[in-house]
Amino acid sequence: MQKVNRQELNRRFTEVFQLLVEKEEIVKSDRSKSKTAFAQKLGTKGHIIDLYLQGKRQITYEQAKLLCSFYKINEAFMFQGVGKPFGVQRIPDSEEKLAMALGINFSPNILFTNVEAFASNTIGVDLLEENERFHIPGVNGDLVAFNINGDSMSPTILAGDMVICKPLEDHHEMVDNEIYAVVANQSVWVKRVQKCFDRYHKWSHLKLISDNHIEFDPFIIEIEEVTKLLKVTRRLTGLN
């Protein structure tokens, strides 16, 4: 994904927003052109737009792309500060150019977040607003990525590595002894996982096992405590 200074991007967003007001593309008294309607086109809400305009939060790359598409904003201006605000002039990322040439539908489908945000009970609007999405050729589906702290999964996964995870639609899709991100009690563990059953042969607990078993003992959590269970599908290393 093209690297863009988010503060400068947000400053240009504020400039474009005011120009859209002057051009009456955004009109407070017109429901179809209100700030709420504007926000919906960018996949967000009116109060989030206010935070962008106040500089308390920053517009995302994906939202800026939508802004350019809906209102014919010059992407060279929006992302690089080159030229004038109006007039369509797309600047696709290099990998997007390649995807287009090959007839592939390019879409940033991996949500990059931090462990603390990911450990919240739900991935809600605020998390989606605050974090970036990116794309890896050949990696499809709605995925979540975050960085690993600690060496409990060494040597398989090292501290500082990024893991890309696929949410399970049903916990019963889990396969014993494979690596999962387990979210429970506002904590995230990346471990090998095994199912544990009670005396009635009902799946009741998960056993979480570290690959670095010399320093980290396995432990048990109740399956009812698990709010998210995601299969670790890929590890990216050497990113620092």
**pLDDT tens track for 157-181:** 998 888 999 989 888 899 999 999 9
Least confident of 3-17, 82-96, 138-152, 222-236: 82-96
- Residue 202 region, left (φ>0) first, then alpha (ψ -120 to 50), else beta? beta
Q: Are 111 and 145 in contact (CB under 8 A)?
A: yes
Q: Name the more confident of 95 and 118.
A: 118
Q: Which residue has the tokens 């989030």?
A: 48
State how beta strands 179-184 and 226-236 pair.
Answer: antiparallel
Average model confidence (pLDDT) across the chain: 82
β-pair type (143-147, 110-112): parallel
Question: Angle at CA 128, nearest 5°, toward 117 and 73?
Answer: 145
The three-point CA angle 167-64-3 to 5° equals 80
Residue 53, SS3 per DSSP: helix
Least-confidence region, from 79-83, 85-89, 141-145, 176-180: 85-89
Tokens of 218: 């396995």
Chain segment 180-223, per-residue pLDDT in tens: 999 888 888 999 999 999 999 999 999 999 999 899 999 999 99
Mean pLDDT of 219-231: 93
Q: What is the pTM of this model?
A: 0.56
Question: Which residues in the chain are classed under CATH 1.10.260?
Answer: 6-91
Going by C-alpha positions, the residue among 227, 139, 138 that lies closest to residue 181 is 227
pLDDT at 104 over 80: no
Architecture in CATH for domain 6-91: Orthogonal Bundle (1.10)
Write down the architecture of domain 115-236 according to CATH: Ribbon (2.10)
Domain with CATH 2.10.109.10 in the chain: 115-236
